[in-house]
């Protein structure tokens, strides 16, 4: 398959590109496009055959349900059985935005989209290109991250090209995304509502609005035998090819221990990568040191995480050592993705 790649300005949207993307979606094809979180791989969510193509292109396990993206509140009624009062409160504040909510689904949503579940995950993205493509494509677009399953999610159109050229109809290149980690998932079918995946909209932000919010235990105790409530969270997502180790503890001791381990692997002839921060980058004496952002603003860390993991892949890195981050705010989303990428290989120093 030939993949059309079109660059589009984020401010002055090219109507022809939007229309072309919309037509492909309406006829059951696949289009990758930017959202504020990561690049999404879109298909008509109400067309079972189109949704199936997503699983084939990504190599995604078929029990891993897709998030349905909408462009306005009016669209919600057709796909959800009931909309709890709290969901309306949350939507008023955080939609459009990096938040997904789970509802009981109606028959309009095929089981092929929800991985056989009777619930549906819905998000209204804020990104202008995403909104316009969703509208042009019929209003209900399933759009998981536009990467090969198991690889880090794409934060640029080039990442999408690496993984999906020749497997999808079109890539709309709108430049780098701004958040860089996937949306928060909040299950509204339980009381209290439960976070199934941490993201830029944090537990603290949600509790301020609607009171108590639970967190899926498997996110806190990943070693427990329990299966995550979001089927996709059980897979070893976001993994780089290298063996990644996260080191946690006093920052000075962490940098010393990373230096020690890096020296050891380098002397054995391996390629070593180090994930450092603006505050610590100068303390590393060897290895390929990449600065992921500043501890003063962990949004910068979120924005660079996946790109750095991909860079280490293309450099042929064998071992990666990373510092750890706070577990409040966006830090909890960063640590969740980082620990998954590391297969939960964390060392306390």
Q: Token pair of 190, please?
A: 């339980």
Residue 247 found at the interface with ligand AMP (CB under 6 A): no
Residue 277 found at the interface with ligand AMP (CB under 6 A): no
Shortest CB 66 distance to ligand AMP, Å: 6
Shortest CB 298 distance to ligand AMP, Å: 20
Through-space distance between the first and last CA atoms of the chain, rounded to whole angstroms: 50
Decide whether 114 or 336 has the Cβ nearer to ligand AMP. 114
Stretch that binds ligand AMP, among 46-54, 127-135, 231-239, 241-249 (CB under 6 A): 231-239
Task: Report the site for ligand AMP in 185-204 (rule: CB under 6 A).
Answer: 185, 196-197
Q: What's the helix, strand, coil split of the chain in %, to 5?
A: 35, 20, 45
Stretch that binds ligand AMP, among 62-70, 242-250, 262-270, 293-301 (CB under 6 A): 62-70
Residue 184 found at the interface with Mg ion (CB under 5 A): no
Q: How many residues bind ligand AMP (CB under 6 A)?
A: 20
Residue 303 touches which of Mg ion, ligand AMP, none (CB < 5 to 8 A by kind)? none
Residue 119 touches which of ligand AMP, Mg ion, none (CB < 5 to 8 A by kind)? ligand AMP
Stretch that binds ligand AMP, among 7-15, 118-126, 254-262, 315-323 (CB under 6 A): 118-126
Q: Binder to Mg ion among 35, 80, 113, 145 (CB under 5 A)? A: 145
Q: Quick count: other Cβ atoms within 10 Å of Cβ 267?
A: 9
Shortest CB 217 distance to ligand AMP, Å: 15
CA dihedral (252, 255, 260, 266) in degrees, to 10, reads -170
CA dihedral (117, 182, 329, 188) in degrees, to 10, reads -20
Q: In the 8-state DSSP scheme, what is residue 227?
A: P
Residues 6+ apart with CB under 8 A from 337: 181, 237, 238, 305, 306
Q: Binder to ligand AMP among 117, 176, 251, 346 (CB under 6 A)? A: 117
Angle between helices 331-341 and 298-314 (to 10 degrees): 20
- Cα–Cα distance between 322 and 338 in angstroms, integer? 9
Phi-psi region of 139 (alpha: psi -120 to 50; beta: other; left: phi over 0): left
Residue 183 found at the interface with Mg ion (CB under 5 A): no
Residue 144 found at the interface with ligand AMP (CB under 6 A): yes
Shortest CB 230 distance to ligand AMP, Å: 4
Question: 58 in helix, strand or coil?
Answer: helix
Shortest CB 234 distance to ligand AMP, Å: 8
Q: Token pair of 133, please?
A: 């493509």
Residue 134 found at the interface with ligand AMP (CB under 6 A): no
Interacting residue ranges for Mg ion, rule: CB under 5 A: 145
């Amino acid at each position: 398959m030939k993949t059309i790649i079109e660059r589009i300005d984020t401010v002055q949207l090219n109507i022809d590109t939007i229309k072309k993307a919309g037509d492909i979606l309406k006829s059951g094809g696949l289009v990758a496009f930017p959202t504020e979180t990561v690049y999404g791989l879109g298909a008509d969510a109400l067309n079972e055959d189109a949704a199936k193509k997503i699983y084939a292109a990504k190599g995604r396990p078929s029990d891993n349900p897709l998030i349905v993206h909408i462009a306005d509140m009016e669209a919600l009624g057709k796909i959800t059985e009931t909309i709890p009062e709290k969901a309306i409160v949350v939507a008023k504040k955080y939609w459009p935005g990096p938040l997904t909510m789970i509802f009981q689904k109606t028959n309009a949503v095929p089981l092929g989209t929800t991985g056989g579940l009777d619930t549906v995950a819905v998000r209204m993205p804020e990104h202008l290109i995403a909104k316009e493509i969703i509208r042009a494509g019929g209003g209900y677009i399933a759009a998981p991250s536009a990467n090969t399953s198991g690889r880090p999610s794409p934060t640029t159109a080039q990442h999408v090209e690496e993984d999906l050229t020749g497997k999808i109809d079109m890539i709309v290149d709108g430049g780098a995304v701004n958040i860089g980690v996937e949306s928060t998932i909040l299950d509204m079918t339980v009381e209290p509502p439960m976070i199934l995946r941490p993201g830029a909209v944090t537990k603290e932000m949600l509790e301020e609005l609607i009171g108590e919010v639970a967190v899926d235990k498997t996110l806190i105790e990943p070693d427990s035998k329990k299966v995550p409530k979001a089927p996709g969270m059980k897979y070893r997502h976001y993994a780089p090819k290298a063996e990644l180790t996260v080191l946690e503890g006093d920052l000075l001791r962490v940098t010393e221990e990373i230096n020690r381990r890096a020296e050891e692997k380098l002397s054995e002839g391996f390629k070593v990568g180090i994930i450092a921060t603006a505050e610590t980058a100068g303390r590393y004496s060897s290895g390929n040191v990449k600065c992921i952002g500043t501890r003063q603003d962990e949004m910068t860390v979120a924005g660079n995480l996946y790109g750095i993991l991909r860079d280490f892949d293309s450099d042929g890195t064998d071992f990666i050592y990373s510092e750890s981050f706070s577990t409040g705010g966006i830090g909890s989303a960063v640590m969740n993705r980082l620990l998954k990428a590391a297969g939960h290989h964390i060392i306390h120093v």
